[in-house]
Amino acid sequence: MSEPTQRSDSFEPRIVAFFCNWCTYTAADLAGTARMTYAPNARVVRVMCSGRLDPQFILAALRNGADGVLIGGCHPGDCHYQEGNYKALRRFILLKRMLASFGIEEERVRLEWIAASEGEKVQRVINEMTDTIRRLGPLRLEPLPAEAAEGHGQKVAVHGGAV
Amino acid sequence: MSKPKVGFYWCASCGGCEEAVVDLAEGILDVVAAVDIVFWPVALDFKRSDVEALVDGELAVCFINGAIRSSEQCEMVELLRRKAKAVIAFGSCAQLGGIPGLANESSRAAVMDEAYKHAPSVDKGNTVEPIPHITVPEGKLELPVLWETVKTLDQVIDVDYYLPGCPPPVELIGNALKAILSGQLPPKGTVLAPDIALCEHCDRRETKPDKLSVKQFKRPHLTAVDPKECLLAQGLLCLGPVTRDGCGSPCIKANMPCTGCLGPTSNVRDYGAKALSAIASTAGANDEKEMEKILAGIVDPVGTFYRYSLPASFLHRRYQPTARGGK
């Protein structure tokens, strides 16, 4: 994989990557121990299952400065918790449609099944996504009105479990 | 003569919240006996100058309903904030943006075009649009400016409490008034309603299967709805699992699914995302194509899940890469 292309304005995409503990995170670990190089633009957050991924996390990432969000889970049929990745996929399908209604390019949110042995897929997907986001440019959401972050009677930060 | 002074005000709203106050019925007599209502444009003839004449903090409490989307509404709520010890965001629009907040799916220009050019009731070729300033022989005239983006009340001023609902249920209003009059209020920022989901006390709860598996999402006007069975189990988009309890479920009792007007419980930050999560995961398929087919039954995800809360959401409004600026 070639180096991700540089642009003159030196925009570096910020990608938040949610990887499931059992497959994709292990694959990223494998990519590391195998000394594979890939774009340093993804900040990896380990979750126990892609099914744990509340869509609020994705929107919160975009709100807080991410230009893209990558979700990695086990291949269909391989979920450590049987069905978590199917739930992730159902939410992802509807969320992508909803993001389109918000005018946000669908390539900014990507779901990939990456098994524990697929270190090179982690490398490829992160490189590809970094290139894609670099081409799309930064996601510059209009800043929230000052009070909004803690408002609406919702004083507690996001910690609601998946329904 | 030293009864506490109370004000009511409305911003971008339909008037339903005012109706809810009147729905207190005889209860309102107790309220009037206990407080002096010194400002309530919809019902009493007090003017802005009467509010301006008050000392700062003279109002014990001010109930404000409606979203904030114009310069005039902003000025008024800033004035009321100065005059009131406590401000209560009254109803979905003030709390979360409400139905007017759906304008955030669009731009100000598109909203104005629709209202002044394309609406069926407007003469074709109409070019008359409101302009904020004009000079006439008698002097300068000014109209309020409509904002690009609709805001919640707490995105404009500091809010002490929230009364959720579209409109807030009479029982919750009554409880809130009792708490205020007795001085027994919870910590600032509290939503004055139970902090559990609507499903908890639903009459149909027993018929909700352990694992919901919806093969087809249905719309209520195209469906014969069973009056006893869980609405979600019937494929209706009922938002009870993610919506705050406290309304007495009048919609569900009328065989209509919950649309989520009481908003989220306190551990959810973005109502629409959580609602999407809850509903999408019930799609009864493991095959991607089949999932897409079932989820296509949800025609308008933003309008369905953010019906009352778009301005309060993480994304706040439709992404406009070229047109920025809140007001």
Q: Residue A69 is part of a domain; what is its CATH number?
A: 3.40.50
Within a domain: A1: no
pLDDT of residue A158: 37
Q: Model-level pTM?
A: 0.91
Pairing of the two strands B133-136 and B68-70: unpaired
| Sheet strands (E) in A32-152 | 42-47, 68-73, 109-113
* Number of structural domains found in chain A: 1
Q: Which amino acid is at B227?
A: P
Contact A153 B320 (CB under 8 A): no
Query: From A154, which residue of chain B is nearest by alpha-carbon distance?
Result: B266
Average pLDDT over residues A148-152: 48
Mean pLDDT for all residues in chain A:
88
CA pair distance A43, A133, nearest whole angstrom: 14
Element (H, E) at B109: helix B108-113
Residue B274 has pLDDT above 70, yes or no: yes
CB contact under 8 A, B312 and A162: no
Average pLDDT, chain B: 94
Question: Mind telling me how many Å the CA of B166 is from chain A's nearest CA?
Answer: 15
Across the interface, whether the CB atoms of A141 and B316 are under 8 A apart is answered yes
Sign of CA dihedral A97, B271, B152, B11: positive
Q: How many CB atoms lie within 10 A of CB B44?
A: 11
How much is the average pLDDT of B127-134?
88
Does the structure show a pLDDT above 50 at B155? yes
| Cα dihedral value A140, A102, B163, B193, nearest 10 | -100
Q: Residue A40: is the preceding peptide bond cis (ω within 30°)?
A: no
For testing contact with chain A, the best of B192, B266, B319 (most A CBs within 10 A)? B319
Above 90 in pLDDT, residue B41? yes
Percent of chain B with pLDDT over 70: 98
Q: Are A152 and B152 an interchain contact pair (Cβ–Cβ within 8 Å)? A: yes
pLDDT at B215: 96
Closest Cβ–Cβ partner in A58, A104, A156 for B267: A156
Cα B167 to the center of its chain, rounded Å: 8
Range of the structural domain that residue A55 is part of: 15-139
pLDDT of residue A5: 56
The predicted structure's pLDDT at residue B327:
34
Instruction: List pLDDT tens digits, range B218-229.
Output: 999 999 999 999
Answer whether B156 sits within 8 Å of A102, measured CB to CB. Answer: no
Per-residue pLDDT band at A4 (split at 50, 70, 90): low
pLDDT of residue B322: 55
Under 8 Å between Cβ of B84 and B57: yes
Q: Is the ipTM of this complex over 0.90?
A: yes
CATH topology of domain B5-99+148-182: Rossmann fold (3.40.50)
In A21-105, beta strands by DSSP E: 42-47, 68-73
Answer whether residue A126 is part of any domain. yes
Q: Where are the domains of chain B?
A: 5-99+148-182, 107-147, 198-296
Dist CA A58 CA B314 (whole Å): 10
B269·A156 Cβ contact <8 A: yes
Task: Give the nearest partner residue to A104 out of B283, B292, B319, using CB atoms.
Answer: B319
Q: How confident is the model at residue B236 (pLDDT cuts 50, 70, 90)?
A: very high
